[in-house]
């Protein structure tokens, strides 16, 4: 065995001739059968580099506008329309909410992120429905992988990020799928 914590066993199981993954945790080795839904990922999520229309709208440089991009792509709306609506909702949230997140907002621009309390009602107003895929203590059950997500137009919520997935293809400015292993906390799907 190698010095790494994970190694692939070269021996095959006699019953079904599938290789197994050997995981070494604190000196104890355990074997697990590989299937299409586990390691290694049989086909990573197809990726299309897409800025949601940001460059066409005249914006340049880098920004943390992943919420705008994901909504614009999945809903099929223009970047400017989504930007203006999120800006209006951010301003309302900043002025009327008493929560800590609202008090910390220095401006209402969605350029550097938008709070979930702002984008969630907007997506619901656009006709999307929320489907949670994780709960407290459940662990990761769905990954950013085409075999684990439904078809259609989705906005998937990841750790610190939102991305658009259309019919099993990831649309974002960079491939954030981590080879199909990134955990999906939930997704908004057009109903």
Domain that holds residue 174: 47-190
Q: Are residues 77 and 169 in the same domain?
A: yes
Q: Are residues 13 and 91 in the same domain?
A: no
Q: Do the beta carbons of residue 115 and residue 133 sit within 8 Å? A: no
Helix axes 79-96 and 66-75, enclosed angle (nearest 10): 130
Q: Are residues 27 and 93 in the same domain?
A: no
The three-point CA angle 127-112-92 to 5° equals 55
How many residues are present in the chain?
191
Q: Are residues 80 and 131 in the same domain?
A: yes
Q: Are residues 154 and 124 in the same domain?
A: yes
Q: How far is it, in rounded angstroms, from Cα 111 to Cα 62?
A: 9
Q: Are residues 5 and 72 in the same domain?
A: no
Q: Are residues 108 and 26 in the same domain?
A: no
The pLDDT score that the predictor gives to residue 1 is 44
* Domain-located, residue 42: no
Q: Do the beta carbons of residue 144 and residue 170 sit within 8 Å? A: yes
* Domain-located, residue 41: no
* Domain-located, residue 125: yes
Return all residues near 119 (Cβ < 8 A) that are at least 6 apart. 67, 71, 86, 89, 162
* Domain-located, residue 140: yes
Which pair of tokens denotes residue 48? 């299309």
Q: Are residues 26 and 52 in the same domain?
A: no
* Domain-located, residue 40: no
Using alpha carbons, select from 51, 67, 174, 182 the residue that is nearest to residue 114.
Answer: 67
pTM of the full predicted structure?
0.75
The pLDDT score that the predictor gives to residue 43 is 55
Domain count across the chain: 2
Q: Are residues 60 and 110 in the same domain?
A: yes
Q: Are residues 79 and 129 in the same domain?
A: yes
Q: Do the beta carbons of residue 154 and residue 187 sit within 8 Å? A: yes
Consecutive 10-residue runs of the chain (191 residues): their mean pLDDT? Answer: 41 39 37 40 78 90 90 96 96 91 84 90 97 90 92 94 95 90 94 78
Q: Are residues 16 and 92 in the same domain?
A: no
Q: Are residues 152 and 107 in the same domain?
A: yes
């Amino acid at each position: 065995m190698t010095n790494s914590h994970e190694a692939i066993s070269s021996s095959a199981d006699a019953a079904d001739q599938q290789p197994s993954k050997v995981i070494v945790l604190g000196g104890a080795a355990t074997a697990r059968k590989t299937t299409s839904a586990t390691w290694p990922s049989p086909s990573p999520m197809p990726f299309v580099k897409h800025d949601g229309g940001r460059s066409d709208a005249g914006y340049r440089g880098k920004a943390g506008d992943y919420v705008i991009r994901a909504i614009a792509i999945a809903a099929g709306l223009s970047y400017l329309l989504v930007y203006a609506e999120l800006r209006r909702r951010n301003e309302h949230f900043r002025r009327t909410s008493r929560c800590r997140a609202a008090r910390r907002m220095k401006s209402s621009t969605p350029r550097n992120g938008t709070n979930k309390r702002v984008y969630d009602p907007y997506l619901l107003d656009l006709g999307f429905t929320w489907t949670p895929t994780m709960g407290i203590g459940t662990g990761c059950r769905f990954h950013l992988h085409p075999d684990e997500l439904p078809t259609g137009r989705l906005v998937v919520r990841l750790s610190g990020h939102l991305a658009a997935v259309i019919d099993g293809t990831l649309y974002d400015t960079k491939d954030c799928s981590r080879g199909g292993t990134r955990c999906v906390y939930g997704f908004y799907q057009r109903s």
